Chains A and B, each alone.
Chain A
Amino acid sequence: MSDPANTELPGTAERRIPGPVHHKGPGPSESGWLDPRGRSHGGRALALHRITGLVIVVYLYLHLGVLSMLLVGRSSWSSFLSLVTAKSFLALEVVLIAAVLFHGLNGIRVAFVGSGLAVRRERALFWAGTALGTAAVIFAALHILGALS
Chain B
Amino acid sequence: MSEETRRFRVHRYKRGDGTERFDEFEVPVGPHTTVLDALLWIKRHHDPSLALRYSCLHASCGTCGMLVDGREELACVSAVEDHGAEITIEPLANLPILTDLVVEMNGFFERFPHAHPIIRSSAPPPGSHVDEAGSRGGEAGSRGGEAGSRGGEAGSRGGEVHLEGEHEVTLEPLPGPLPGPLHYHPLHHEHSAAPPGADFMRLEDCIECGLCLSACPVAATAHDYVGPAALAAAERLLEEPRGVKREDVLAWASRSEAVWRCHVGFECTRACPADAIPAERIMALRRELIFGDDDHKEHER
Contact = CB atoms under 8 A, between A and B. Distances in A.
Interface stretch (A40-48, A82-90, A92-100, A130-138): A40-48
Interface in B166-221: 190-191, 214-215, 217-221
B300 interface: yes
A77 interface: no
Contacts of A18: 96, 104
Interface range, A side: 35 or more
Interface in A1-24: 1-2, 7, 14-15, 17-24
Given A24-B93, A47-B217, A40 B283 contact: no
Given A2-B191, A38-B71, A32 B264 contact: no
B72 A38 contact: yes
Nearest to B286: A116
A60 interface: no
Interface in B55-105: 67, 69-72, 90-99, 104
Given A20-B13, A23-B93, A116 B288 contact: yes
Contacts of A15: 98, 104
- Chain B CB within 10 Å, residue with most, of A21, A30, A35: A21
A39 B267 contact: yes
A32 B221 contact: yes
Given A20-B96, A115-B287, A7 B191 contact: yes
Contacts of B45: none
Interface stretch (B32-40, B152-160, B248-256, B290-298): B290-298
A82 B211 CA distance: 54
A37 B286 contact: no
Contact of A46 (B72, B217, B219, B300): B217
Interface string B250-268: 0000000000001111110
B284 interface: yes
Contact of B90 (A1, A22, A43): A22
Contacts of A17: 15
A116 B220 contact: no
A119 interface: yes
Contact of B264 (A24, A33, A113): A113
Contacts of B191: 2, 7
A120 interface: yes
B70 A110 contact: no
B18 to A, nearest CB: 9
A35 B301 CA distance: 23
B111 interface: no
A7 B296 CA distance: 50
B20 interface: yes
A30 B221 contact: yes
B238 to A, nearest CB: 12
Contacts of A7: 191
Contacts of B92: 22
B220 A24 contact: yes
Nearest to A122: B266
B99 to A, nearest CB: 8
B280 interface: yes
Given A38-B70, A42-B264, A33 B217 contact: yes
A32 B225 CA distance: 14
11 contacts: A2-B191, A19-B15, A22-B92, A25-B220, A31-B220, A33-B220, A42-B267, A43-B215, A46-B217, A46-B264, A119-B287
Across the A-B interface, give the 9 residue pairs with the lowest CB-CB distance, nearest first: A116-B287, A32-B220, A37-B70, A38-B71, A42-B266, A33-B217, A38-B70, A19-B97, A42-B265
